[in-house]
Amino acid sequence: MTVNILQKIESAGVDGIKKVALKKIYGKECDNMLERLKKKEQIFIEKKGVTYCIWSKENYIHYLTQNDPKFKLVLDMVSGTSQSEPKGHTQNLLEEVESISNQDSALANDDFEIVFNKYLNESSTSIGWTPFSKVREKICEAKNLSKEKFYTLAADLIEQKRERYEVSSGGHEGIIVRGLVHGYVRNL
């Protein structure tokens, strides 16, 4: 029965089919089947006024292309078929965005290293070891970072500068190395 409903929806074309029409043909049971098809993203349901219209995936894209100029513009830009933008220009924009993103992440890593070293030195004990949690608390407060972001940046920094840092297993939180939590760190 699900296959029959899907075929009926596909045969409706770009105009879609009203949910009421499907209920007349298939009864109340079609609601559950429509929900399953919607979860699988095989159909799309949209409210138009007081009625619900249903489309297959392909027909819904055609419907939006014909009736929504913003959708058509975005689709054209993504697929590279826009008449108003040369294809090379789009590629140049993508390269420029990627370049800026790489510069920002490089600056963020350099900035993180400076701040990490500062708080590591401030928090170290007489033997040099510092719990990651102390450094994390200070940096997260100062730089408004999440715990996950801090440990991602810290793990990357320590991986890149192995000759500069040493980590030790133990503690309640830290970076994971070879499946173990390493909760202490020190400068070498």
> What is the tally of structural domains in the chain?
2
- 82 occurs within a structural domain: no
Residues 70 and 98 in one domain: no
- 140 occurs within a structural domain: yes
Of 174, 103, 173, residue with least CA distance to 165: 174
31-86 per-position pLDDT tens digit: 888 888 888 888 888 888 888 899 998 888 888 888 888 888 887 788 765 454 44
Would you say the C-alpha torsion 23, 29, 33, 36 has a positive or negative sign? positive
Residues 71 and 96 in one domain: no
137-167 per-position pLDDT tens digit: 998 888 888 888 888 888 888 888 889 999 9
**179 phi, psi to nearest 5 deg:** 80, 0
Residues 94 and 7 in one domain: no
pLDDT at 106 over 50: no
Whether 19 and 51 have beta carbons less than 8 Å apart is answered as yes
Residues 143 and 124 in one domain: yes
Q: Which residues of 140-177 are buried (b: 16+ CB within 10 A; e: fewer)?
A: eeeeebeeeebbebbbebbeeeeeebebeeeeeebbee
Last residue of a domain, one of 25, 41, 76: 76
H helical segments located in the chain: 2-11, 19-26, 30-39, 57-67, 69-79, 87-123, 132-143, 147-160
- Domain holding 108, by residue range, is 87-187
Query: Which pLDDT belongs to residue 109?
Result: 60
* Percentage of residues in the chain having pLDDT higher than 70: 84
Residues 164 and 117 in one domain: yes
46-57 per-position pLDDT tens digit: 888 888 899 998
Token look-up 């991602």 returns 152
User: Which whole number is the average pLDDT over 104-126?
Assistant: 75
Q: What is the CATH number of the domain that holds 176?
A: 1.10.10
Query: Which pLDDT belongs to residue 104?
Result: 45
Residues 111 and 151 in one domain: yes
User: Which whole number is the average pLDDT over 116-120?
Assistant: 89
User: Which whole number is the average pLDDT over 18-22?
Assistant: 89
